[in-house]
A and B are shown apart, each in its own frame.
Chain A
Amino acid sequence: MTAFTTWDILRNLLLAARWTILLSLAAFIGGGVVGMLVLMMRTSRSGFLRGLSGGYIELFQGTPLLMQLFLAFFGLALLGINVPSWLAAGIALTLWSSAFLAEIWRGCVESLPKGQWEASASLAMRYTEQMRYVILPQALQVAIAPTVGFSVQVVKGTALTSIIGFVELSKAGTIITNATFQPFTVYGFVALIYFALCWPLSKSSQLLERKLNAAHRHH
């Protein structure tokens, strides 16, 4: 039987952490793109689009991420579509974060005074022009801090994908524990690595919030 040194454990965990980072980035970027589309629908003048996007947000916010992962992995397989676990994880996390990001950003859009909409409308701008040139530049400045804050949730959310067999940091921890019988050491390292990923994010979110509040807006 081979003996595992502490360095062996840490090295393998760090290698697996690459997948956690990659999945987090994919989910965050994908979620950002989809979330922007959902946001445009959520704030549009069409009642149908608003209802549709509202339902979408309710659905993903109102069910556990774990169920969404199961449905993406097993549900699609039942339909005859064989999805590898990394793809199911990527899709489920993207949709999940898009719902939360859309809702965070909607709050930022609605925090702007109604006069910004009215002034740009009275200057003959269309909805998409109002959004692009007047509303979003202001809303996104408000949104930076909570958005970075939410990225912490995405990183931690990736841990759940270990259940459908995607080998990221948590899953690697389980595998190594089964081989070494040192759960405390292994999961201790796992937790530390998660903390090392999340702490800078939440700290920078706090800093950004303070900085943007102090500068208030612009310049």
Chain B
Amino acid sequence: MPLIAITDVRKRFGANEVLKGIDLDIEPGEVIAVIGKSGSGKSTLLRCVNGLEMIDGGSIMVAGAQLLPDDLHLRALRMKVGMIFQQFNLFPHLTAGRNVMLSPMVVKKTPKGEAEVIARKMLERVGLAAKFDAYPDQLSGGQQQRVAIARALAMAPIALLCDEITSALDPELVNEVLTVVGELASEGMTLMMVTHEMRFAREVCDRVVFMHQGRVHEIGPPEQVFSAPKTPELQQFLGAA
């Protein structure tokens, strides 16, 4: 049984249909890269999976939790799926440690001491054990993004969604974030990532999804998608990218 089951998902913004019936099943432990031009609907698809955008048709199931627009279902789904954003979105009024502790304490009612233990462990996992008491604006972009990863991990999700998580970083900071993501992948975390890092997608991902005009245009293992693209659109995209 797939961990994430996306079935005939449709989404429109006004008259503009951005997702025109997406079918995609993701198995536990799979690492999926979603690539495509801007406007192809790849970010929207990712945002739909944890309910930041409401779908207009079809269904999304994550480990048996269905995406429905009420608070109870959304909460159940979001406990299972973490999300990392392009702009990090750390809470600037809290230290790195507090950023990681907040949600376990508030949502899961984890006692403070226990939450701190989890937070220290998660920050250590992303190589930032020493930055527990630093505020976000005292950290580099790469460090902030790693705190954001630790923050998502603290909720013990079974899958992580990564929305262009290295696109806002200076080139020399990209690798420290990708290294962390690569480690997560090798530990068996299920990942669905929208990315422009083709080399990373090729090395780490199990399958690559090429989206074009709101549809899954081509899908397959990275060597097939990158080395033997079947459609002219993908050939053109890879040529340009």
Contacts and interface: CB of A to CB of B under 8 A. Distances in A.
A183 interface: no
A123 interface: yes
Interface string B90-122: 111100000000110011000000000000000
A138 B92 contact: yes
B66 interface: no
A216 B92 CA distance: 10
Interface string A107-124: 000000101101111111
Contacts of A119: 83, 85, 89-91, 148
A124 B102 contact: no
Interface in B146-183: 148, 151-152, 155
A124 B93 contact: no
Interface stretch (A17-25, A65-73, A129-137, A173-181): A129-137
B187 interface: no
B79 A124 contact: yes
B75 A115 contact: no
Given A121-B78, A124-B75, A126-B71, A113 B89 contact: yes
A123 B103 contact: yes
A125 B82 contact: no
A148 B83 CA distance: 38
Contacts of A116: 89, 91
B200 interface: no
A141 interface: yes
Contacts of A133: 102, 106
B132 interface: no
A121 B52 contact: yes
Q: Taking each of A115, A119, A129, which has the highest tally of chain B beta carbons within 10 Å of its own beta carbon?
A: A119
Nearest to A134: B91
Contacts of B92: 138, 217-218
A133 B93 CA distance: 10
B87 interface: yes
B210 to A, nearest CB: 25
B160 to A, nearest CB: 10
Contacts of A138: 91-93
A120 B155 CA distance: 12
A127 B102 CA distance: 15
A218 B87 CA distance: 20
A138 to B, nearest CB: 5
Contact of B93 (A113, A118, A218): A218
A198 B125 CA distance: 54
B89 A125 contact: no
Contacts of B102: 123, 133-134
A137 B99 CA distance: 13
A125 B91 contact: no
B135 interface: yes
Contacts of B190: none
B44 interface: no
A114 to B, nearest CB: 9
A115 B165 CA distance: 13
B106 A115 contact: no
6 contacts: A115-B88, A119-B85, A120-B103, A122-B50, A123-B152, A218-B92
Interface of B: 50-52, 71, 74-75, 78-79, 81-83, 85, 87-93, 102-103, 106-107, 135, 137, 148, 151-152, 155
